[in-house]
Amino acid sequence: MLMQQAYSLAKKLHKTKIWLGVSERNLKALALYKKEGFKKIGMHTFWIGDTPDEDMIFEKWLY
């Protein structure tokens, strides 16, 4: 339901795509986003204290 609200709001705001970041270790989220049609477009490193972490960046075109 939350995903549908995000799509609806993006379309209302005349956006053509949605981006999101998800931890490469979050397998359940990765499966959900792939099922929803998101495609991996890159990686992003961010820091939690002294520890670097990697997020996968995904996008979905809304056509």
Q: Give tens-digit pLDDT for 40-60.
A: 999 999 888 999 989 999 999
Instruction: Return the percentage of the chain with pLDDT > 70, whole number.
Output: 100
Q: Which residue has the tokens 């993006």?
A: 10
The pLDDT tens digits of the residues spanning 14-47 come to 999 999 999 988 999 999 999 999 999 999 998 8
Q: Which two tokens stand for residue 22?
A: 């998800």
Residue type, 58: F
DSSP letter for 46, please.
E
Q: How far apart are CA 17 and CA 31, in angstroms?
A: 19
Can you tell me whether residue 62 is helix, strand or coil? coil
Choice among 18, 22, 33, 58 that is catalytic: 33
Residue 63 designated active-site: no
Q: Classify domain 2-61 by CATH architecture.
A: 3-Layer(aba) Sandwich (3.40)
Provide the mean pLDDT of the chain: 94
Task: State if pTM tops 0.85.
Answer: no
What secondary structure letter does DSSP report for 16?
A: S
> What pLDDT score was predicted for residue 46?
86
